[in-house]
A and B are shown apart, each in its own frame.
Chain A
Amino acid sequence: MIVYDKNRLDNEVLVDEADTLYKGGFISKEQKKIIEKELTVLKSQNNILVRIGFFLLGSLLYGSICAAISLFGLSGEHFFFQICCYIFAIVGFAGTEILANQNYHNHGLDDAFALGALLNVGIAIAVTTDGYEMMIALFVAIAALFLFIRYLHVLSMLVFCFSVTAFLFYVMFEFGDVGKAILPFVAMIFAGIFYFITKKTIQKLKENYYYNGLLLANSFCLVLFYFSCNYLVVRELSGELLGTEVKPGKDIPFALFFYLFTFIVPIFYFFQALKTKDRIMLWLSFLAIAFSIYTIRFYYSVLPIEVALTIGGIVLFAIAYFSIKKLKEKESGLTFKPDRINHSDNFLNAEALVVASTFGIKPEMKTDSPMEFGGGGFSGGGSEGNF
């Protein structure tokens, strides 16, 4: 089923491993070079910037091919409009197939064609069925699953997860108000079941070709599980879908359950992540905790925002400081020492960029108009814009 040469896929893993070993200081640079020379691999881009660049170029190419095809169809007008997206989708699949045969994988070009094909499948079904969401979600999910299985395209797996979830939602909407009312619980059970299914599948995997995609699906289930019964999501969605308005002094049904869920799940994720040494789950737990805090602040203004920020900063600083102090001297297990094998500090390189965008000093006069200059707030009249 996989279009790529298995040998090359295996070599890909070995070269990656050699790269991590070299970065960890286990093998020498010469050795790494020999390994890279010995093993033939696929054409892929590890640098995210280059990959995005090729993605954009690939999208331009895809778009221009579609434009050229449209020239032929312009005379057919209405009929052509009905079928054009199917043709474009076929172009996308053909492009993906050709690129895969040329051994392009995770290169950016193949991403452009695969994602473009999925987009066109969606539009084509929407045109044919007059925007019947359930059908769109179903067909996009099938197409995405095909792309993942045949071309090991991990981004398609993400599209698959989203469209399957959307399909579930639209099926529930078919049942009317009852379906909408029990939607949170259905989504929760769905996420839970699929979490364990994907986890079992990963454990049983003999080859690692599908590993990354399954891991993504697994993490997606964790996220969906948290959001399915988060108080904010449930309350806003039920307001949106059922049109129920929560009157002052009243609350949504099962409010206590949703509140408890909102707080217990992130904490459970956090401890489970530390126990199983699961870095993805750890990060998801951080994000979930942040969103839970946001949930509370959304309904109850506990503290004014500036005080909350200041105190939050101090508390976070204290947590980090004492954790570092505690973990600094440990040599194994949970530690503060950088891991020689699993580097996860790539994002720290982006730190300076974030500082520049949040705290960069801006010119004091942006316009020549004296009105705006005098009337501005801190950043207008002062010397810098810190906000």
Chain B
Amino acid sequence: MEKFKEKATLALFEKGLITENQFEEIKTYRNLNIFSLNAELKFFLYLSVILFTSGIGILIYENIDSIGHIAILSLLLIVISICFFYCFKHSRGFKREETNFEHPVLEYLVLAGNILTCIFIGYLQFQYKPFGDHYGLATLVPTTVSFFCAYYFDNRSVLTIAITGLAAYIGLSVTPQDIFNDSNNLYASQNLSYSAVILGVLLILWTIYSRRISLKTHFGLVFLTFALHIISIATISNLTNYSTLIWLIFGLMLVGSTYYFYKASYQYKAMSLYVFMIVYAYIGANIFIFRIFENVDFSQMWELFIFLLPAYFVGSIIMFIKLIKNFHKEITA
């Protein structure tokens, strides 16, 4: 690999596309022979946090009646305190802009402390019911803690936990594996769909507001990603509703969200938002076409449809290629 890379740099230099100084600089850097384990070691830290917290979680779940509750609770509390003690000690305090720790380990300690806190509160609620039957409250407390940690220590992973907690409060499961296999049953319960759309809108409003007061603007993409998926999935699953009025309302909502996210993806220069926006809009449009023609009897001419289908897909492909090209041009400009 190296030899081809070096050849490419040389070719760039020979074509006069990079200067001699730059060429020399690159050459010296390559000669350092750097083999960075940065990503690998960070991944290990991350994996260790996941393993450890899962282990603790199962440990508590399995032994919930055998080991003394007080013993478990106090042990958890000690570990949590150690995690947060180090984090607070080395943290540079709250900043409005993006910050990071001097030592990469601390970022993962925040994550560990946060997950353990969630386990702690969950265990507390299960065993002693401090929140009584207010299960919503029992969800909100870990959510609040997570939001605090996310903003104070500037941690994206914790932020996602906080957002899933917020969604859980309204009865929505937005973990990636659940949102796509529709365990929420959005089709059956319309109220949940409305709440989902409202949650999405609130997330968008919060993003706009944070951007205005320049509070952690780099979190915007995380919020918008959640908002896009929540709104789109909620509206699309209601497009098949039998009541004409309801599916038209949700169709309009989808059009509105598509328009907003079209603008937002340009603003944030985010390809991931753009692609998913297009995909959802395309699915929505196809369902819309299908719904319009559902009452017409086509049994005589279905062959014609099959012949038209390739042309339809060719048309869509050309449209997508155009859209992506425009977006590329815009964000690299």
Pairing of A with B: yes
* Contact indicator B165/A361 (Cβ below 8 Å): yes
Chain A, range 321-362, C-beta contacts under 8 Å to B:
321, 323-324, 327, 331-342, 344-345, 347-348, 351-362
* Contact indicator B52/A314 (Cβ below 8 Å): yes
Which residues of chain A come closer than 8 Å to B43, judged between CB atoms?
Answer: 347-348
* Bound Cα distance from A333 to B58, whole angstroms: 41
* Contact indicator A306/B173 (Cβ below 8 Å): no
Any chain B CB within 8 A of the CB of A383?
yes
B33 nearest CB across to chain A (Å): 6
Which residues of chain B come closer than 8 Å to A283, judged between CB atoms?
Answer: 40
Known: A60-B313, A109-B317. A360 touches B48 (CB 8 A): no
Which residues of chain B come closer than 8 Å to A272, judged between CB atoms?
Answer: none
Contact of B275 among A38, A50, A345 (CB under 8 A): A50
* Contact indicator A316/B47 (Cβ below 8 Å): yes
6 A–B pairs (Cβ distance < 8 Å), ordered by A: A54-B320, A64-B310, A308-B55, A323-B37, A356-B176, A360-B164
For B116, the closest partner residue in chain A by CB is A386
* Contact indicator B51/A313 (Cβ below 8 Å): yes
Most A C-beta atoms less than 10 A away, residue of B17, B25, B136, B276: B17
Residues on A close to B: CB < 8 A? Answer: 10, 13-14, 16-18, 21, 24, 26-27, 31, 33-35, 38, 45, 47, 49-50, 53-54, 57-58, 60-61, 64-65, 67-68, 71, 109, 208, 211, 215, 274, 277, 279, 282-283, 286, 304-317, 319-321, 323-324, 327, 331-342, 344-345, 347-348, 351-366, 377-378, 381-384, 386-387
Mask for B143-176, Cβ within 8 A of A = 1, else 0? 1000000000000111111011101111111111
Known: A49-B271, A312-B51, A356-B175. A27 touches B22 (CB 8 A): yes
Known: A53-B279, A309-B54, A387-B57. A320 touches B48 (CB 8 A): yes
Any chain A CB within 8 A of the CB of B332?
yes
Which residues of chain A come closer than 8 Å to B303, judged between CB atoms?
Answer: 71
Any chain A CB within 8 A of the CB of B30?
yes
A172 nearest CB across to chain B (Å): 34
A371 nearest CB across to chain B (Å): 16
The tally of CB-CB contacts under 8 A between chains A and B is 306
Mask for B274-312, Cβ within 8 A of A = 1, else 0? 011011000000000000000000000001001101101
Residues on B close to A: CB < 8 A? Answer: 1, 4-5, 7-9, 11-12, 15, 17-18, 22, 25-26, 29-30, 32-59, 61-62, 64, 104-105, 111, 115, 118-119, 121-123, 125-126, 135-136, 138-139, 142-143, 156-161, 163-165, 167-178, 183, 222, 271-272, 275-276, 278-279, 303, 306-307, 309-310, 312-314, 316-317, 320, 324, 332
* Bound Cα distance from A208 to B2, whole angstroms: 11
* Contact indicator B157/A362 (Cβ below 8 Å): no
* Bound Cα distance from A383 to B125, whole angstroms: 7
A325 nearest CB across to chain B (Å): 9
- Not counting A57-B313, A317-B44, A344-B36, a sample of 15 additional A-B residue pairs whose C-beta atoms are within 8 angstroms of each other reads A24-B29, A47-B275, A53-B275, A68-B309, A282-B40, A312-B51, A315-B48, A323-B37, A348-B39, A352-B222, A363-B167, A378-B64, A378-B126, A386-B122, A387-B61
* Contact indicator A54/B59 (Cβ below 8 Å): no
* Bound Cα distance from A338 to B26, whole angstroms: 16
A370 nearest CB across to chain B (Å): 12
* Contact indicator B55/A17 (Cβ below 8 Å): no
* Contact indicator A335/B34 (Cβ below 8 Å): yes
* Contact indicator B157/A355 (Cβ below 8 Å): yes
For A36, the closest partner residue in chain B by CB is B332
Contact of B168 among A61, A68, A337, A384 (CB under 8 A): A384
Contact of B41 among A309, A324, A366 (CB under 8 A): A324
Which residues of chain B come closer than 8 Å to A13, judged between CB atoms?
Answer: 4, 8
Known: A34-B17, A35-B12, A352-B159. A384 touches B39 (CB 8 A): no
Known: A71-B303, A316-B48. A345 touches B39 (CB 8 A): yes
Which residues of chain B come closer than 8 Å to A306, judged between CB atoms?
Answer: 55-56, 58-59, 62
* Contact indicator A332/B34 (Cβ below 8 Å): yes
For B165, the closest partner residue in chain A by CB is A361
Most A C-beta atoms less than 10 A away, residue of B15, B36, B54: B36
Known: A50-B271, A67-B309, A387-B61. A320 touches B41 (CB 8 A): yes
* Contact indicator A353/B160 (Cβ below 8 Å): yes
Which residues of chain B come closer than 8 Å to A109, judged between CB atoms?
Answer: 317
* Bound Cα distance from A57 to B160, whole angstroms: 31
B149 nearest CB across to chain A (Å): 13
* Contact indicator B17/A366 (Cβ below 8 Å): no
Which residues of chain A come closer than 8 Å to B167, judged between CB atoms?
Answer: 363
Which residues of chain B come closer than 8 Å to A332, judged between CB atoms?
Answer: 32-34
* Contact indicator A65/B310 (Cβ below 8 Å): yes
* Contact indicator B126/A345 (Cβ below 8 Å): no
For B189, the closest partner residue in chain A by CB is A368
Known: A348-B39, A361-B168. A21 touches B18 (CB 8 A): yes
* Contact indicator A336/B142 (Cβ below 8 Å): no
* Contact indicator A357/B176 (Cβ below 8 Å): yes
Which residues of chain A come closer than 8 Å to B121, judged between CB atoms?
Answer: 383
* Contact indicator A362/B5 (Cβ below 8 Å): no
B135 nearest CB across to chain A (Å): 4
* Bound Cα distance from A142 to B1, whole angstroms: 27
For A47, the closest partner residue in chain B by CB is B271
A334 nearest CB across to chain B (Å): 5
